[in-house]
A and B are shown apart, each in its own frame.
Chain A
């Protein structure tokens, strides 16, 4: 823990969990989608559903989807700005069982692609993604993270991790999930070093890989 976790972050109020963390959830969804959404459906759960409105949680998530940081003073105007950008958005509530009280399910679409992100905001502006496209997972994006969605078939884990190792990158955590046998698989790889663009290129070239997202802390991959 740094002294700047105590004196900081600089953020738009009123709540680190319900506002700053909510912006981070929107940003994470934007990154997983690969850019600005054309439409978004935001479903709030637990304390987010009960007190989100007064904390500006819906505005904060939408601001994050538009690429704003938690200290952006335009966050309170995100509904109006999204309208100007032509982003269609709607809000609702959902009961996410077993999730942290501060959670949301965000569905976003862009250029024929869609993602569904389940995320929680436990405090201090930090977040944790607990589901992606319906598959359970767990990552925060606080360390370099590679997210690969692919066809479930033999050899994929080996080829993907091989491409990571080829760049001298050490993996600290590897998660693999799939929906059905031969269906869609999700790999989440947390690393000790920054993940360069060429790793994404190498993995994207493998047959049966649908999508690759790089999360390098401090870098906005718009």
Chain B
């Protein structure tokens, strides 16, 4: 099997070999890295464990070094627990989980970059709460992480997963596409539906700029994790309902790359434009 450079290629290999998508991703990587399937599985299992440990160790009293982040995951949890949540406990928990992980990252706790540290909350926020709500065994969640990694790898190779190169669409956008694919797999969707879900999610975040206040991975990064997670859920639901992206996934990824190339450098992690150039952001910088 050759290196993964397109979603269409992943689907083709899976169909030819009569393998589920996650297995194609695993076998391709094992061949490239000269790693056994068992070692690869253990490594992926550890990623899930770290995600869970960090989520469970969340402390709503903890604040980041800058003082900009912390406590919002706790507020969301309290609100969901109060029963007043408009979208109900599952979506509420997805939002809370994304905030918790984003805040853990900002507060220098251990996280799994997925695909980056700034976007580390999106994938666990759908995989862990939805896995629990759907009553799925861990094996299924680990498979879903392979699906997510496969989609992320294609995005990294065809476009980018760096905010400095392509803006936030390449971080939260990529993470949301990965999470949508993972969730569709967990729900029993076909390989085509998995691919389609990733396209629907990424399309929704095309053009998103990287404009961190003070140049820190905090504002708006933490809350964009929550938005990216809910978009992933929306995309998976649409795909499972049989709704198709009119533009296929590989073309959406190529469009993301093109948008990134056309994006002004002031909107690519340099903290010179967008939210980073607002009056509030300037005051924050001056007061430090």
Q: Looking at the complex, which of B82-90, B115-123, B202-210, B226-234 is the stretch in contact with chain A?
A: B115-123
A216 to B288, CA, bound (A): 41
What's the interface size class on B, roughly? 35 or more
Q: Quick check: is B166 within 8 A (CB to CB) of the other chain? A: no
Q: Is the CB of B218 within 8 A of A14?
A: yes
Q: Is the CB of A10 within 8 A of B215?
A: no
Q: Is the CB of A53 within 8 A of B114?
A: no
Q: Which residues of B contact A15 (CB under 8 A)?
A: 117-118, 217
Query: What is the number of residues of chain A that contact chain B, defined by CB distance less than 8 Å?
Result: 33
Q: Which of A1, A16, A59, A73 contacts B110 (CB 8 A)?
A: A73
Q: Quick check: is A50 within 8 A (CB to CB) of the other chain? A: yes
- Per-residue CB contact flags for chain A residues 7-47 toward chain B (1 = under 8 Å, else 0) read 11111111110011000000000000000000000000001
Q: Looking at the complex, which of B145-153, B238-246, B248-256 is the stretch in contact with chain A?
A: B145-153
- Per-residue CB contact flags for chain A residues 153-185 toward chain B (1 = under 8 Å, else 0) read 000000000000000000000000000000000
Q: Quick check: is A51 within 8 A (CB to CB) of the other chain? A: yes
Chain B residues packing against A (C-beta within 8 Å): 25-26, 29, 32-33, 43-44, 46-47, 50, 64-66, 104-118, 120, 123, 145-146, 148-150, 152-153, 156-157, 161-162, 164, 178, 214-218, 271, 288
Q: Is the CB of B153 within 8 A of A14?
A: no
A8-B108 CB under 8 A given contacts A2-B33, A3-B25, A13-B117: no
A14-B110 CB under 8 A given contacts A3-B25, A8-B47, A50-B215: no
Closest to A55 in B: B216
Q: Is the CB of B117 within 8 A of A1?
A: no
Q: Is the CB of A7 within 8 A of B111?
A: no
Most buried by B among A11, A53, A73: A11
List the 4 shortest-distance A-B pairs measured between CB atoms, nearest first: A13-B105, A51-B215, A3-B149, A6-B152
| 8 A-B residue pairings within 8 Å (CB atoms) | A1-B156, A7-B44, A7-B113, A8-B112, A8-B113, A11-B117, A51-B214, A73-B110
